[in-house]
Structure 1
Amino acid sequence: MAYPERLLTDDETIVVQFRPHWRMLLIPVLWIVAGIVAVWLVYRVPPDDGTIDLITSGVVFIAIIPAAVIPLVAWWFTGYILTSERLITRDGILSRSGIEIPLENINNVMFSQTLFERVLKSGDLLVESAGESGQSRFSDIPNPEEFQSLLYKTRELRTGGTTGKSPAAPIGSPDVDSMDKLERLTQLHRDGIISDEEFADKRQQFLDEL
């Protein structure tokens, strides 16, 4: 689900936002398929007893709720958001929780992938930051290596190429100009002047030139 723009600061823009990798849907979908097959077999295999068939179908349906439905809904309500100022995660269905890390507090970003995750282009990110959060793990990130690079580039724009808190760059410096260009591009997309595809292409070109 999209991050509400009303929660952004005046000059803050969303660089990218996404849900966990689609591989998190594999097991829930398999459970749903298995449930459908089980119900089909119940009604196809004799003896044909309506009461037993109905009870068996109910048991299968109840089993699918925690095994498939809840994980699917949890995936839908989990989001990772990178803005021009913060790295944010939001999760939870009824009760919500999240982490917000100011970009200037990020000291190091590491990613890890198993062989299976490399094939599917997913992995975990471990973000080390100053303050109370210390280390934060972001699980099942799509293309974690690319996101790590994007996170570093966005942090450099925010901090002027230094880690930790630093004085703001003077107006007219390359870092401020770059951030202004990114914000103007985001505003054009938000106003509907450029399409989603044009926005993605121009933003990637802009980041590649940094």
Structure 2
Amino acid sequence: MAISKKLLSQDEVVVRHMHTHIKTLLPAIIVEVILLIAAAVGSFYVPAEARYWALPTIWLAVVALSIPLFIAPWVRWWMTTYTVTTKRVITRSGVLRRTGHDLPLTRISDIQIEKDVDDRIFGCGTLALQTSANDPLLLHDVPKVEMVQVEISNLLFHDVQGAIDADPRS
């Protein structure tokens, strides 16, 4: 879900809008694949006399288990967004209860990145935006975290075009 234009000020431009990295869904994807393989194998070995009730039961169970195991994490991932504009960093998350944080760029005093081994493999990381309040805003699993750090740094130094042009692929 992109930030609505009505929530932006008149001269504010979205530099980058993103979801957390897709790696956050990896455990759910693995579980779903295992579930589908188990259902396919189970369907193959169902005796012929039980097929009329066993096959629908197996696949209804797959659908019922997929909702909490895959669809719910996917919806949570889809509803978690980070947006960098020319004036602030905006976070939004939650499905039923939406929460968010708007951090004006003028309040940021330091930008740090942290990348674990799995973050380095997937090309993401945690971005810590430090303010004078000593309570950093942590953005977890940010895709292309170094590029986002460069964009925010450019914005802090009032180089809006440098921030927009930092990633020619976006």
Q: Matched residues, percent identical?
A: 25
Aligned-residue offset at 1:202: 9.8
Structure whose alpha-carbon radius of gyration is higher: 1
Compute the TM-score of the two structures, normalised by the length of structure 2. 0.85
Distance between the aligned counterparts of 1:26 and 1:204, measured in 2? Answer: 31
Distance between the aligned counterparts of 2:110 and 2:23, measured in 1? Answer: 26
Specify every segment of 5 or more residues in structure 2 that has no aligned partner in the other structure, as ranges: none
Structure-2 change in CA distance of 1:64 and 1:205 (3 Å): closer
Q: Does residue 6 of structure 2 align to residue 6 of structure 1? A: yes
Q: Does residue 130 of structure 2 align to residue 128 of structure 1? A: yes
Match of 2:20 in 1: 20
Aligned-residue offset at 1:26: 2.1
Equivalent residues in 2 for 1:64-83, closer than 5 Å: 64-83=66-85
Q: Secondary structure at the match of 2:165?
A: helix
Greater RCO between the two (CA within 8 Å, min separation 6)?
A: 2
Q: Secondary structure at the match of 2:11?
A: coil
Equivalent residues in 2 for 1:26-175, closer than 5 Å: 26-48=26-48, 49=50, 50-131=52-133, 134-157=135-158
Distance between the aligned counterparts of 1:60 and 1:117, measured in 2? Answer: 31
Aligned-residue offset at 1:52: 3.7
Aligned-residue offset at 1:66: 1.4
Q: Deviations over 1:164-203 (max 9, x none)?
A: xxxxxxxxxxxxxx65xx4xxxxxxxxxxxxxxxxxx993
Compute the TM-score of the two structures, normalised by the length of structure 1. 0.70
Structure-2 change in CA distance of 1:205 and 1:37 (3 Å): closer
Q: Deviations over 1:32-59 (max 9, x none)?
A: 2222222212221032424344333333
